[in-house]
C-alpha cells in the first residue's frame, strides 16, 4: 500500500525541503547573530504568521483572525529593543501577553484564540529574553539549534532505521528510532557547545529532555492538524507547509530553555 504522503517524499521534494531548510536556518542564524532589532523583527513577524495559521486551524472568521493578531502585536511591541520599558520588559511582557490572551478570548468569544496568543507569543518572549543575556548569543543559539538537531536526527534515523511507530494515529511517519536519533543528535550538539563554548551543565544535561519536548510539540501540532482535517498548517514555506509546521517543536522548548537559564537565580 502506498503511504498517503508518498508524493511529498520524492527526491525532488526532499531536495526542495533541504534547500528551504538551509535558507531558513541561514536567515535565523543571521538575525540571531545581529541580535537587537533584527532578531526581534524576525521573531515578531514569525509570531504573527503563526497566529494566522493557528486561527485557520480553528476555523475562525477573518475578523477574528485579525483581532487575534492585533491582540498579539501589543505584547510583541513591548518586547522590542526600543521599548520604553526595556529594563522591566520581561515580566511586564509576560503579564501583557496573558492579558492580551484574555482580551482576545473575551472579545472574540473563542477561547482557542486566547490560547493561540500565548502559544505564539511565549516562545518569542523566551527567545528575546535569552538573546539579551550576557551570553545571549550562545543561549539563544542552543535553544534554536537543539530543535534543528532533533528534527535532522529524527528524520535521518527514522528513514534509515524505521521500526515501530511513535504515534501512528497522530503522525504515521514518526518512529521510536527517529525519536532516539533526534535526542542523540541534540545531545551531541549540546555537548559540543559545552566543551567549545562553555554552555552551562544544566543546559547541556537538560537538552535530551528538551529534545523529547520538541518531538512532543511536533505531535501536538499534528493533532491540531488532524482535528482541522488538513495536512499542513499553511503553504508559505516551499516543501514545508506553514510556519507552525516548522516551529512546532520550538514552541514548548523556548520557554523551558529560558527557565533553565534562570534556574540559578530563582532561589535567590
Interval 198-246: pLDDT, tens:
999 999 999 999 999 999 999 999 999 999 999 888 877 766 678 999 8
Q: What's CA 243's distance to the chain center, in Å?
A: 9
* 3-class secondary-structure state, position 201: helix
CB distance 214 to 250 below 8 Å: yes
Q: How many CA atoms lie within 13 A of 165 on its CB side?
A: 8
pTM of the predicted model as reported, rounded to 2 decimal places: 0.90
CB atoms within 10 A of CB 70: 15
Contacting residues for 166 by C-beta, under 8 A, at least 6 apart: 174, 175, 176, 178, 179, 215, 219
Which pLDDT does position 170 carry in this prediction? 86
Domain layout of the chain by residue ranges: 35-132, 134-268
Cell of 131: 538573546
Query: Which whole-number Å values give the CA distances from 155 to 91, 134, 159, 190, in the listed order?
Result: 37, 34, 6, 19
CB distance 171 to 215 below 8 Å: no
Instruction: Tell me the percentage of the chain whose pLDDT exceeds 90.
Output: 70
Amino acid at each position: 500500500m502506498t503511504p498517503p504522503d508518498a508524493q511529498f517524499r520524492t527526491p525532488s521534494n526532499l531536495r526542495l525541503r533541504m534547500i528551504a531548510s538551509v535558507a531558513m536556518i541561514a536567515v535565523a542564524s543571521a538575525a540571531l547573530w545581529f541580535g537587537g532589532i533584527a532578531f526581534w523583527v524576525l521573531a515578531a513577524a514569525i509570531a504573527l504568521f503563526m497566529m494566522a495559521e493557528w486561527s485557520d486551524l480553528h476555523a475562525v472568521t477573518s475578523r477574528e483572525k485579525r483581532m487575534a493578531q492585533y491582540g498579539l502585536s501589543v505584547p510583541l511591541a513591548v518586547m522590542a529593543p526600543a521599548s520604553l520599558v526595556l529594563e522591566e520588559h520581561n515580566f511586564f511582557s509576560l503579564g501583557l501577553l496573558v492579558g492580551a490572551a484574555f482580551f482576545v478570548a473575551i472579545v472574540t468569544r473563542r477561547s482557542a484564540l486566547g490560547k493561540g496568543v500565548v502559544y505564539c507569543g511565549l516562545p518569542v518572549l523566551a527567545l528575546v529574553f535569552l538573546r539579551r543575556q550576557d551570553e545571549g548569543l550562545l543561549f539563544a543559539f542552543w535553544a534554536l539549534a537543539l530543535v534543528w538537531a532533533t528534527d535532522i536526527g529524527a528524520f535521518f534515523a527514522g528513514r534509515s532505521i524505521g521500526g515501530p511507530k511513535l504515534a501512528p494515529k497522530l503522525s504515521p511517519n514518526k518512529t521510536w528510532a527517529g525519536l532516539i536519533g533526534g535526542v542523540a543528535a541534540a545531545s551531541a550538539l549540546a555537548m559540543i557547545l559545552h566543551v567549545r563554548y562553555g554552555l552551562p551543565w544544566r543546559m547541556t544535561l537538560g537538552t535530551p529532555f528538551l529534545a523529547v519536548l520538541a518531538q512532543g510539540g511536533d505531535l501536538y501540532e499534528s493533532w491540531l492538524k488532524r482535528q482541522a482535517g488538513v495536512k499542513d498548517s499553511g503553504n508559505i514555506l516551499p516543501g514545508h507547509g506553514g510556519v507552525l509546521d516548522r516551529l512546532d517543536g520550538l514552541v514548548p522548548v523556548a520557554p523551558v530553555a529560558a527557565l533553565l537559564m534562570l534556574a540559578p537565580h530563582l532561589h535567590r
